[in-house]
Structure 1
């Protein structure tokens, strides 16, 4: 690996489809310089011996108790810190990408030490863009998006999801998706790892916001990944309840109506992206 940088990555499992997981592992392509941690939060250990196949570059860890998505990734991040990794990648199990993009993102981040986090262009299997770059959300943004029809949210989402940018240029964004989070480990040490109060959902909003306050958090469209994107909270009542609880915890932490920092950051982002001129 020509970057010669120690990289680690983590995938949190919960009754994960082994075939889907195999695709994600093959995409990351573990090696001596690219360690992969599989953190299994399933009720019973996942039968993936055939996937591990005695590969010493894949470290499997069964938690025995599901403490949540962010907590699972934190186990791996702490191990990455102990192994002196320079970069850590948080991956969903429903991703596919060309292995070389890991090297390309490292090379990009090496050119600017103020970049702490990167998200590539994310598309579905039809090559349609998933609009995962966002402003810091207000309660209206998260509640409207979750509970009201798309037509009512259309104009607001056009701004909130930064659709006016066409997603074809590099941008410094305060809210990036948790499906693929490429972190500089030294920045995680400074800004902090995942807040484990969030069992699932909103942990990506929270951590990117903390990163963005101190560093650049970049959308980098020169490389792309495929995300199956199940959006489980739209199909499961249990997941919907988890989603709502996380949203409440997020706004209790950062502020519901009064969040001056949010106002300033969002205003600056829209100005940087020339939205005022549209």
Structure 2
């Protein structure tokens, strides 16, 4: 059985309705928990569907804490749990193919598909474990060249589009998590109100399982990047980043250094192998 959870906060009903319908149509026996953090209860005919479980909190609990309310209610029969944003939609084959990836790879704990903008272009959501430079300092660098260089490394621009790979940080906008792994770590760390909770969750799963990028299927994400334009959201982002580095280490984080180095070396090997194959095919 596949379960899912989605957190709302004054969202557009057409938008989150598309996300819910994407799940219901692609997982005929699946169940989804919709957790509403809005000031007043949202109304939607989809909430009457027997496979949709609507939870109204009456307050804004934040992203991770709200998802944890759903996770605490998923049945023992759940094999994998989809964490999905309300501004996501996807074709019917996406979740079944991600489920298959988990089924054939018992060592994998979480998978993420290719995430694209509505125009089809790639969203670079496969990343290294962040450093303070990646999350905080680059925002305020005056040099666009330096920002581009930092982004290229942090967002793994050298990973060929369409290449399946183990990635240490996957975006919580759309991840399918082995339910056993989710329960093992106790869900999201609730000290993060908003932002960084997904980085923390995937990192903790990565302590004992592989975290896999599966670009053979794609989900569409509107992705407003709210913290880039809203000062209040930027404040939340910086506060969460500080909490993350207080937990894992600001400048000394051996696990981060090791996982990032392994990831960069793996991508370099992929590119070298592609070059060799290209030269062999061309007869040079």
The alignment status of 1:38 with 2:31, answered yes or no, reads: no
* Structure 1 residue matching 2:217: 3-state secondary structure: strand
The 2-side partners of 1:122 and 1:245 are apart by 26
Q: Distance in 2 between matches of 1:98 and 1:91?
A: 14
Q: Which moved more, 1:267-276 or 1:210-219?
A: 267-276
Deviations 1:125-144 (A, max 9, x none): 11110000111111001114
Aligned partner (choices 38, 46, 49) of residue 51 of structure 1: 46
Measure, in 2, the Cα distance between the counterparts of 1:66 and 1:223: 33
Moved over 3 A (4+): 144-151, 275-278
Q: Which residue of 2 aligns with 1:89?
A: 82
Pair 1:223-2:217 in alignment: yes
Distance across 1 between alignment mates of 2:122 and 2:271: 24
Larger deviation, residues 24-33 vs 218-227: 24-33
**How far does the alpha carbon of each residue in 1:114-161 deviate from its partner, in whole angstroms, 9 at most, with x for none?**
111000000001111000011111100111443336433111211111
Contact 1:38–1:58 (Cα < 8 Å) also in 2: yes
CA shift at 1:60, angstroms? 0.3
The more displaced of 33-42 and 150-159 is 150-159
Please give the root-mean-square deviation of Cα atoms over the aligned residues, in Å. Answer: 1.7
Distance 2:93 2:266 in 1: 30
| TM-score, length of structure 2 as denominator length | 0.91
Q: What pairs up with 1:239-258 in 2 under 5 angstroms?
A: 239-258=233-252
CA distance in 1, matches of 2:180, 2:66: 20
Structure 1 stretches lacking a partner, 5+ long: 1-5
Matched length: 270
Shift of 1:164: 0.6
> Is the partner of 1:233 in helix, strand or coil?
helix
Query: Unmatched 5+ residue regions in structure 2?
Result: 273-284
Give the direction of change, closer, same or farther, for the CA distance of 1:275–1:138 in structure 2 (3 Å limit).
Answer: farther
Q: How far does the alpha carbon of each residue in 1:171-199 deviate from its partner, in whole angstroms, 9 at most, with x for none?
A: 11110111001100011122331000000
